[in-house]
A and B are shown apart, each in its own frame.
Chain A
Amino acid sequence: MEMFYFIARYFMYFFIPLLVVSVSGMFSERSGVIHMALDSVMVWSCMWGVLCLQWLDGVVAGQMRLIIALLFAGITGVLLTLLLAVAAINLNADQTIVGMAMNTFAPAFCVFFARVLQDGSEHLSIRNDFLIEKIPFLGDIPILGEMFFCRTYITNFIGIAIFAISAIVLSKTRFGLRMCACGENPQAAESLGVNVQKYRYAALIIAGFIGGVGGLMYILPVATHYSQTVGGYGYLAMSVLIFGQWRSIPLLGAAAFFAFCKTIANAYSGIPFLNNLGLPAAFYKSLPFIITLIALAVTSKHDRAPKASGQPYDKSMR
């Protein structure tokens, strides 16, 4: 049973950042801008978040330090995403190439910057005192309490909240529906008085904030120092987005599925059955990627991608 709880917690460490970052991608792509740069936003905001944690160490105590750092990471995420926004919305850029440019930029800049800050070492250490041993009342629920409300992080709940709010905003509010219209048929939306450019900017700012928060959420439970990588999570989040067909509820399932694969990949040596199979570690590590491909091969025939995604908006086209 101890093993089961351990896996459940491990699962949450992977599940929450994947969910949050793919929600970030969902905002962007539903508004019609392909977001290849999720990985770079994570890497970049993660660095600023970790730096913020270091600055606040001793100044602010407890969970407040984490929350301020999350907000700061979100804001830096917005700043980086504005690069994508300007290029995609104002300059009619090829959005995939912009994404690749940003993915080259962020890790390089972060290595450069971290080494300048610390005179040669690129690893930024994280002092992590945010683990909540047990939440009162909720932690006493049998099984579930032990699974989700013990030895947990506040980020888990923030992540779920971000997902829930985003799902409602996208499918139930005027703002969300109009934004999705910009991704499906921007000309029609414009003819009904929706300012496509404004909505896409709004979508990318939200996406930047959520992506930035997701970057810091990723690093916190799994690492003791930041070294300019988020383990390809941005790309995984992109595949979650495609696998989830750009819709919130399927997205939840897709993120859970990927997080499960990832958990197996990291914890297989502790599971006697899998360890006895004698497969190489590489197999388990690449399992999420292999399964993604198989899953995409099955689902890609019926593509429900936002129709205008990736195309620069041209008012004169119809």
Chain B
Amino acid sequence: MSVKAKKKFDISNHTAVLSSLIAILGGLIIAFLVLVLTNPSKGVPAFTTLITGGFQMGGMKNLGTLFYFATPILCTGVAMCVAFQAGIFNIGGPGQYSVGALAAILTSLYFSKDLPAPLTWVVPLLVSILAGAVWALIPGILKAYFNVNVVIGTIMFNYIEMYYMMHWINDYCYDAMKGQTRAIPAPCKLPQWFMPALTQNKSADIGIIIAIIVAVLCWVLMEKTELGYELKACGKNADASKYAGIKSKRNIMISILLSGALCGLGGGLTHLSVSGTYITMKEALAAEGFNGIAVCCLANNSPLAAIFGALFLAFLTVGGNYMQIFGFQREIVSVITSVIIYFAAFSLFLKQMLEKALNRQKKEVNKVTGEELK
């Protein structure tokens, strides 16, 4: 009897997953309420379209779209995981993402298009990584050496990026006809390999594969290496790790630079994609940067789980694109995202409550079975 019970799936060991699921459920319920309350007759079909990811409408072709949306938020999501685990709240995602995107565009326009084959797209990607890291550098220095709150530092850099982006685009790569950045040359786009066949989408590329590989590498870094251990120790208790001889300043710099680099990579991958993405002349922060926070919250700070988090949010985004048919806006996806982040904020509390409830249940079960045995 007892052996059997051990083998059985014990839910109380998976409260982290459970609380993420509760967060998702909460988000979906709120979205359902908002949709139904604003338009009772169209709310229900709109909601079903949303949660089926529009696959019933667009068919398998949407798998490519899904990967396309998942790529940037997976990169920024992993970036947030790395930073949060090290105790750095990097909100600079939008800035680092956009700077990475612009760097990739400029490199491909002015430099790498005449290089030998694989370098045409590898070089812009590397430059985008570098650019993202550079954009995180100053907030990092300010945090490590001047004790400036990293949240404020990175937010300020988001706004500096937002204003300067217009200036840079206007000066170097503006397509006045379309009001956006110039299209990048064809050889600089990411290779496609087997992706079009797999997803039945002509413009699918290997972006998602690169992003997944990076996520796995980051997981290895955080879980299996000494550096990852040190970073996490700093995040758990900065003072204690200082006394243990871990250089906290160096670790702050490493984690924020890594985080910025990953955001930059996200920008690069998206803007080198085959489907073609442009930066428009609009004073706005890139949503991909903020959505990374949601991915990270869903994944409970684990780069590996971020893969699923990113795919899930991308799934909703694909569904969100069909909202206009029902007279709704795709912003409903952001509403869901925000509720998920909101729930994630007290996931610790939620976890404790779940554990308490499950333990109580277990005790009762034990009591009952104990009585039976008597």
Contacts and interface: CB of A to CB of B under 8 A. Distances in A.
Given A101-B345, A104-B334, A109-B335, A115 B152 contact: no
Contact of A111 (B34, B331, B348): B331
A83 B346 CA distance: 12
A87 B348 CA distance: 12
Given A105-B342, A108-B338, A238-B152, A91 B332 contact: no
B331 A94 contact: no
A242 interface: yes
Interface string A88-102: 000111111110111
B341 A101 contact: yes
Interface centre among A87, A94, A101, A116 (most CB of B within 10 A): A101
SS class of chain A's interface: helix, strand, loop or mixed?
helix
A16 to B, nearest CB: 21
A300 B148 contact: yes
B346 A108 contact: no
Nearest to A116: B38
B64 interface: no
B98 to A, nearest CB: 13
A277 interface: no
Contacts of A94: 345-346, 348
B294 A104 contact: yes
Contacts of B152: 235, 238-239, 242, 292, 296
A97 B328 contact: no
Interface string B19-36: 000000000000000100
B146 A297 contact: yes
Interface in A54-79: none
A104 B346 contact: no
Contact of B142 (A91, A108, A109, A293): A293
A285 interface: yes
Contact of B342 (A36, A101, A115, A297): A101
B328 A112 contact: yes
Interface in A246-288: 280-282, 285-286
Contact of B151 (A36, A105, A107, A292): A36
B346 A87 contact: yes
Contacts of B344: 97, 101
Given A282-B166, A300-B149, A101 B338 contact: yes
Nearest to B285: A232
Interface residues of A, number: 43
B167 A281 contact: yes
A105 B149 contact: no
A303 interface: yes
Nearest to B84: A97
B148 A83 contact: no
B155 interface: yes
B332 A300 contact: no
A174 interface: no
B346 A292 contact: no
Nearest to B142: A297
A10 B87 CA distance: 41
Given A238-B152, A296-B142, A100 B293 contact: yes
A289 interface: yes
B24 to A, nearest CB: 14
Contact of A97 (B34, B164, B297, B334): B297
Interface in A100-134: 100-102, 104-105, 107-109, 111-113, 115-116
A224 B166 CA distance: 24
A262 B88 CA distance: 29
Contacts of B159: 232, 235, 286, 289
Interface string A12-45: 0000000000000000000000001000000000
A32 B143 CA distance: 22
Nearest to B147: A300
B90 to A, nearest CB: 11
Contacts of A280: 167
A111 B148 contact: no
A227 to B, nearest CB: 11
Nearest to B149: A242
A109 B342 contact: no
Contact of B341 (A91, A104, A115, A285): A104
Interface in B9-60: 34, 38-39
Contacts of B345: 87, 93-95, 97-98, 101
B342 A87 contact: yes
B110 interface: no
B339 interface: yes
Contact of A296 (B149, B166, B293): B149
Nearest to B151: A96
A292 B156 contact: yes
Given A239-B152, A292-B156, A100 B341 contact: yes
10 contacts: A92-B348, A97-B344, A97-B345, A100-B293, A101-B339, A239-B152, A239-B156, A281-B167, A289-B157, A296-B142
The 7 A-B residue pairs with the shortest CB-CB distance in the complex, in nearest-first order? A108-B334, A105-B338, A101-B341, A93-B346, A101-B342, A104-B338, A282-B167
Given A105-B339, A300-B146, 15 more contacts: A95-B345, A97-B293, A97-B344, A100-B293, A104-B341, A108-B332, A111-B329, A112-B34, A112-B328, A116-B328, A238-B155, A282-B166, A296-B142, A297-B142, A300-B147
Interface of B: 34, 38-39, 89, 91, 138, 142, 146-149, 151-153, 155-157, 159-160, 163-164, 166-167, 290, 293-294, 297, 327-329, 331-335, 337-342, 344-346, 348-349
Interface of A: 36, 83, 87, 91-98, 100-102, 104-105, 107-109, 111-113, 115-116, 232, 235, 238-239, 242, 280-282, 285-286, 289-290, 292-293, 296-297, 300-301, 303
